Homo-oligomer: A and B are copies of this chain.
Amino acid sequence: MKIEDVLKTTNFKDEVHKATLNVLYTSYWLKDHTSSALKENGLTTEQFNVLRILRGKHPESMCVRDIASRMIERSSNVPRIIDRLVVKKLVKRVQSKEDKRETLINITEAGLKQLEQASKSLESINRTILGLTNQEAETLNMLLEKLRKID
């Protein structure tokens, strides 16, 4: 569906303006489908992201700042997302001995298991909803990085 039809307007300043709205809508669209798939696994997209980041270092632990620096949304409030993962026993949180200001977070076995299932749901839905070839995706990546002139 064209963005004109999604937003019910043709009132764009130019193609660049249209592209910015298209990026915002596509992001919303992705999150919407993603969260539907993850909900079946009892996770929100942000909880999933934190678990995915932790798996990348497992069995090592990560401090909150390290997790935050790998989040897509940089100002995510990682301590509060971790709060909810701790309640569900998907991660463990302990004070660091080397630097007592830090808390070290570890994904648990239960966390790994739930993440595994969630990842499968996600891959499955992505195969269904995404319509790009790898080569088109390459061009898209290049254009998005060009869009972000200053970073």
Contact = CB atoms under 8 A, between A and B. Distances in A.
Given A8-B69, A16-B137, A26 B144 contact: yes
B137 A140 contact: no
A73 to B, nearest CB: 5
A19 B131 CA distance: 12
- Copies assembled: 2
Interface string A21-63: 1111111111110000000000000000000000010000000
Given A22-B140, A143-B143, A144-B140, A6 B131 contact: no
A20 interface: yes
B132 A72 contact: no
A145 B136 CA distance: 12
Interface of A: 1-3, 6-9, 11, 13-32, 56, 69-70, 72-75, 123, 126, 128-141, 143-151
